[in-house]
Amino acid sequence: MPAPIRIVLTESEDRTLSELRVATCVPQRTRDRAHMLRLNAQGWNTPAIAEIFECHEHTVRATIRRWQTDGLGGLWEAPGRGAKRKWQEADLQYLEHCLEHSERTYNSM
């Protein structure tokens, strides 16, 4: 079992994380990470936080370690994460052309 990991937040860090947690212009995963950090600073342990967010304990520990090493910047996704774009601009233009000039009707069903 790993040793308990605990962070201490200053008043300004806590206020920043609190504002970040409710900001609608921030990705949900980043808001969740801010909330994880606040819970840890309030005394919650890693297994309890993982249960709240329905994730693995490793995810919570990684978030806390990223906060310790990178600070606020560690909450956002690293560049290059996620699936790479497969469609080219020419593909999208072709589809738009087909939709505009086709007699067939399309819907989302």
Sign of CA dihedral 62, 64, 69, 71: positive
For the chain, domain boundaries: 11-75
Among 58, 60, 62, 34, smallest CA distance to 49 is for: 60
d(CA 93, CA 99): 10
Q: What is the per-residue burial (b if ≥16 Cβ within 10 Å, else e) of 20-42?
A: bbeeeebeeebbbbbbbbbbbbe
* The model scores a pTM over 0.75: no
Work out the angle at residue 79's Cα, subtended by the Cα atoms of residues 72 and 85, and round it to the nearest 5 degrees. 145
pLDDT in tens, 56-85: 999 999 999 999 999 999 999 877 777 777
pLDDT in tens, 30-64: 999 999 999 999 999 999 999 999 999 999 999 99
What's the farthest any 2 CA atoms get from each other in the chain? Answer: 65
